[in-house]
């Protein structure tokens, strides 16, 4: 268990991920939280759980941690806007996908403690996993603060560089969509085989959840071998997947996501 966040936490942006983080953090510990969001309906959904405002600059004043939770295309604008109002020791945590750590540092004026994070959508149900990377200005207490915020919605793993987070983006950031795609396909096959759509989906989702729970405790390769009887139904299915280059296709897809993550970082980050 990481230590509690000391001081006020300001979220800039009130979208789904900010909502999950802010409400998850509020439920996990006693901490002062404010969310800055220009859209009134977005602010309203926070209810009385946390304070809200439409003013980014007002939100960051005296904050110990500022979480940049806006769209990647506006991170530069927001970072430059709030930089003069930040305290010297404020930690800035960016959860904007594809925005390089160095770019955030530069837009804030340099010399500031910055952590870049790559959470994924299961965070919305408290089951996410986030990759984090810190710059040299981040101290031990600030690392703990960043970890505490992200661990409110799931697991946390630290990495060494932006390049690592490109791989994290391709694997776990985009990863839920790969599994959703597979669940869709399996459900459709179940319907083709005569099952009702709701029944097929329930079978598929429960099977995926059970398989994931087992894989969290044992090696997936060993588990696959255990469930694959020679000459049986599972072996037949897996042999067809192998014949149709399923592993190669999946690897190509992940590599494509990795390359696109690097391209986006260059497009958004400029010369950082």
Is the domain of 81 the same as that of 134? Answer: yes
Is the domain of 199 the same as that of 253? Answer: yes
Mean pLDDT in the chain? Answer: 93
Residues 6+ apart with CB under 8 A from 69: 11, 12, 13, 14, 15, 17, 18, 21, 95, 96
Residue 175 banded pLDDT, cuts 50, 70, 90: very high
Give the pLDDT confidence of 45-95 residue by residue, as tens digits.
Answer: 998 889 999 999 999 999 999 999 999 999 999 999 999 999 999 999 999
Is the domain of 140 the same as that of 208? Answer: no
For residues 164 and 258, give the distance between their C-alpha atoms in angstroms, rounded to a whole number.
10
Residue at a domain's end among 116, 131, 162? 162
Give the pLDDT confidence of 97-109 residue by residue, as tens digits.
Answer: 889 999 999 999 9
For residues 96 and 144, give the distance between their C-alpha atoms in angstroms, rounded to a whole number.
20
- pTM of the predicted protein model: 0.89
With 70 as the cut, is the pLDDT of residue 173 above it? yes
Give the pLDDT confidence of 186-220 residue by residue, as tens digits.
Answer: 999 999 999 999 999 999 999 999 999 999 999 99
Specify the CATH number for the domain of residue 215: 1.10.3730.10
Residues 6+ apart with CB under 8 A from 141: 3, 6
Specify the CATH number for the domain of residue 46: 3.40.50.720
**Percentage with pLDDT > 70 across the chain:** 97
With 90 as the cut, is the pLDDT of residue 158 above it? yes
Domain that holds residue 233: 175-262
Region 6-11: what's the mean pLDDT?
89
Q: Is residue 267 part of a domain?
A: no
For residues 152 and 254, give the distance between their C-alpha atoms in angstroms, rounded to a whole number.
27
With 80 as the cut, is the pLDDT of residue 2 above it? no
Is the domain of 140 the same as that of 38? Answer: yes
Q: Which of 32, 84, 65 is nearest to 142 (CA)?
A: 65
Is the domain of 204 the same as that of 122? Answer: no
For residue 4, the model assigns a pLDDT of: 60
**Percentage with pLDDT > 90 across the chain:** 87
Give the pair of three-digit tokens for residue 153. 């919605």
Residue 272 banded pLDDT, cuts 50, 70, 90: very low
Is the domain of 56 the same as that of 79? Answer: yes
Is the domain of 122 the same as that of 181? Answer: no
Residue 1 banded pLDDT, cuts 50, 70, 90: very low
Give the pair of three-digit tokens for residue 145. 């603060």
Region 131-157: what's the mean pLDDT?
95
Is the domain of 219 the same as that of 135? Answer: no
Is the domain of 34 the same as that of 118? Answer: yes
For residue 110, the model assigns a pLDDT of: 85
Is the domain of 198 the same as that of 153? Answer: no
Residue at a domain's end among 103, 138, 162? 162
For residue 94, the model assigns a pLDDT of: 97
Region 17-25: what's the mean pLDDT?
93
Q: Is residue 115 part of a domain?
A: yes
Q: Is residue 169 part of a domain?
A: no
Is the domain of 191 the same as that of 64? Answer: no
Q: Is residue 168 part of a domain?
A: no
For residue 30, the model assigns a pLDDT of: 81
Number of domains in the chain: 2
Q: Is residue 3 part of a domain?
A: no
With 90 as the cut, is the pLDDT of residue 266 above it? no
Q: Is residue 170 part of a domain?
A: no
């Amino acid at each position: 268990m990481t230590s509690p966040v000391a001081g006020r936490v300001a979220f800039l942006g009130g979208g789904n991920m900010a909502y999950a983080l802010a409400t998850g953090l509020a439920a996990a510990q006693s901490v002062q939280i404010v969310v800055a969001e220009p859209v009134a309906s977005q602010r309203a959904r926070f209810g009385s759980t946390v304070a809200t405002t439409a003013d980014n600059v007002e939100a960051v004043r005296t904050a110990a941690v500022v979480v940049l939770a806006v769209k990647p295309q506006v991170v530069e604008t927001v970072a430059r806007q709030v930089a003069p109002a930040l305290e010297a020791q404020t930690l800035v945590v960016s959860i904007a996908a594809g925005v390089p750590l160095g770019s955030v540092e530069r837009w804030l004026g340099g010399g500031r403690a910055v952590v870049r994070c790559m959470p994924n959508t299961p965070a919305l149900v408290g089951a996410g996993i986030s990759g984090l990377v810190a710059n040299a200005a981040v101290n031990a207490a600030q690392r703990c603060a960043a970890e505490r915020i992200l661990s409110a919605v799931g697991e946390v793993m630290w990495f060494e560089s932006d390049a690592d987070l490109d791989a994290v983006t391709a694997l776990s950031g985009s990863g839920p969509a790969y599994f959703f795609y597979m669940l869709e396909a399996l459900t459709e096959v179940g319907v083709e085989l005569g099952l009702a759509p709701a029944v097929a989906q329930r079978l598929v989702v429960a099977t995926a959840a059970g398989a994931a729970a087992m894989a969290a405790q044992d090696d997936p390769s060993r588990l696959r071998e255990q469930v694959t009887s020679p000459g049986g139904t599972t072996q037949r299915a897996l042999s067809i997947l192998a014949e149709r280059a399923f592993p190669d296709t999946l690897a190509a897809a992940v590599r494509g996501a990795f390359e696109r993550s690097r391209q986006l970082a260059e497009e958004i980050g400029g010369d950082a």
